[in-house]
Structures are given as C-alpha cells and as structure tokens.
Amino acid sequence: MWLLGLAGAALFTFLLIRQGAPQVGAAFASAGWAIAGVVIYHLVVPVLLDALAWWALFPKPERLSLWQLFWMRWIGESVSTLVPSAAVGGDVVRARLAALRGAPIPTAAASVLVDITLGVFVQIGFNVVGTRLDCERNRTPRLYPPDADRSSDRGTRHHWFYVVQRLGMFSFHREDDFEAGECG
C-alpha cells in the first residue's frame, strides 16, 4: 500500500516538474484563498453529508463513529474516482473497511447496498425534476428524444437494480459464507 502511495507521489512530482512548478504555483496564487473554499465545498461537504446518511443506516448498537465513516466514505470515493470504469469498487472497499472496524459483515454490506439504493432513488428524483424544469424553461410540452432516451435508460437500469435487490441479490450464498475471513 505504501508503495502505491509513493508511486502516486512520484507521478505527481514528475507531472508538477514537467508542467512547470512556477506556473502551477502562479495558478494557485491567482486563485487565492478561494481555492481552499472550493476544495472544502467540493470534497468535504458532500462526503460529510454522504457519511452522515450512511451513519444513519447503521443500527445504533452496531454504529461506527461518524468520523470513521467519513474516512471510509472518502476512501471509497477515492477508489471509485481512481478507477472510473469500476465505480462500484469504492462501495466494496467501504463495506470491507466498515467490517474491519468492527461492524458485522452483513450489516456493513447491507448498509452500503441501502446507501447505493437510496442514491439511485435520489438520482432518479433529480433526473425527473431537472428534465421537468428543462421542459418548462424551454416551454416545450414534451421531452426531446435525447432527454427521453437518457431518462428511460437510467430509469430502466435503476429499476432492475432495485428488482434484483428485492429478489435477493445474495440469496445464492450460504449463511456460512459470511464467517469472518471467508469473504476475502
């Protein structure tokens, strides 16, 4: 793990030198302290709110601290961003970290799945509201074909994700499979 961190730091240093450290420094200096506000708003606020929502999903006796979940959420977001083609990898990492920090494995996995499902429904809501506002703004009574295709595609994928969960996404596993150390 430390080796990957060192490789990342080396790559960052190489890119900084290649692009010109003075130019990068000048760009940050021209932004002033506003850049810190952008970083805090873009990274800390959404991740903290997501961690708070995830925290609420844990049963009180099994609940980890908010700061632990904030850290796990941040790590999960980092993994998902690092490998965008496998965005679900961050969620697996979150469940694993929660289990390593003391949450029972079924609770950790269930909380992440419910968190994903709630995120899907929120995305559907934003999609519907945004599409409706777009129609009202443009004074069109109907959707444009690209908007309709996008809405129906997302809705269909989200619908099947929910159906698969309701049918028992993990019903093929035996209860014994969830013993500590057997799941990876």
Positive or negative torsion for Cα 14, 19, 23, 26: negative
| pLDDT tens digits, one per residue of 63-90 | 999 999 999 999 998 888 877 666 678 8
Q: Which range has the worst mean pLDDT, 53-57, 89-93, 102-106?
A: 89-93
Q: How far apart are the first and last CA of the chain?
A: 17
Per-residue pLDDT reduced to its tens digit, 120-164: 888 888 877 877 777 777 776 565 555 555 555 555 665 666 666
Q: For residue 29, what are its two tokens?
A: 């200096």
Q: How far apart are CA 7 and CA 5, in angstroms?
A: 5
Distance between CA 121 and CA 100 in Å, rounded? 29
Average pLDDT value for the chain? 78
Residue 16 token pair:
């900084």
Q: What is the mean pLDDT of residues 23-44?
A: 82
Give dist(CA 135, CA 142) in Å, integer: 7
pTM: 0.61
Q: How much is the pLDDT for 79?
A: 85
